[in-house]
Amino acid sequence: MSKLWLLSISLLAFNAACATEDANKDKDIEVPSPWDTQVEFGYQAHSGNTTSEALNSRLKSEYTSGRYRTTGDWKFYRLEKNGKETKRQSTYSLQSDYKLGSDTYLYSSFKGMDSQYTAYFKDFTVSGGLGYQVANSKNLLLEVELGPGYRYQEPNLDEIDDDDIVFPDVVQEPIFRTNVRGNWQVLDNLKFGIDITHVTGESNTMWDSDISITNNITDDIALKLSQSRQYHDKVPEGLSKADSIFSINLLFIF
């Protein structure tokens, strides 16, 4: 009988030890945070219709939970010509996605711009539609989005100059939006990114592209080089249809 008791106690002790070990293993497993936040500070050199220098900053945050993903982006830059402020602008966007399956998702997108100096001091675009992940792996992400939307642009008639790509009319029109964006982790510390948006409406058709290379200095700090280009198919006479911006930014990852 005593041997039976000893065997039972030994089994209970063994099970307790295994349970404690499993609990410790569970504690060691790191659950990834649903938040991904980036802060950028940098310098811009503008070319095209203007030649100038600017300081810029950017805040981007993404939250992913289950089938839902929400991304917010805010950019601010201040432009100087001959030591005098000529532009101060905020650009902001918000997008929410809902996964339908392994590759497809629904999206709703809003993008706006506020400016005190530029020709359009109000510029809003909303869109919604279907997204498809062409590739979604650890090292490569490529997404395509298509959907209808609406565009509202209100020109600042007091600030329109000869070098502004703008017509002096209030724009209120339906649009169709296409977006292609992706990230390719070429090396452990080197990432290539692309973001191309096409918006077409009765008043104008716009292509907005951003190509970037990010080189990680540490796990939390990176150097980012980006080339942005905006193209309009209709511009006032005598102006270039394309403007480009080259940026060198210091990127902080949280």
57 in Cβ contact with 75 (< 8 Å): yes
100 in Cβ contact with 90 (< 8 Å): no
Mean pLDDT (whole number) for 124-128 = 93
Mean pLDDT (whole number) for 179-206 = 93
pLDDT digits (tens, 9 = 90+) for 195-217: 999 999 988 888 889 999 999 99
135's CB contacts (< 8 A; 6+ apart) are: 141, 142, 182
pLDDT digits (tens, 9 = 90+) for 96-118: 999 999 999 999 999 987 766 55
Helices assigned H by DSSP within the chain = 2-28
d(CA 87, CA 44): 13
d(CA 222, CA 214): 6
d(CA 218, CA 67): 31
Least confident segment among 31-40, 69-78, 163-172, 222-231: 163-172
Structure tokens of 117?
A: 């100096």
Secondary structure (DSSP) of 3-67 = HHHHHHHHHHHHHHHHHHHHHHHHHHSPPPPSEEEEEEEEEEEEESS--EEEEEEEEEEEEEETT
Structure tokens of 103?
A: 């590759």
Mean pLDDT (whole number) for 5-16 = 44
Q: Is the pLDDT of residue 243 over 50?
A: yes
Residue type, 98: Y
Residue type, 90: S
Question: pTM of the entire structure?
Answer: 0.75
Angle at 53 between CA 50 and CA 59, to 5 degrees: 110
Q: Is the pLDDT of residue 166 over 60?
A: no
Least confident segment among 47-61, 89-103, 226-240: 226-240
How would residue 8 be classed by pLDDT, with cut points 50, 70 and 90?
very low
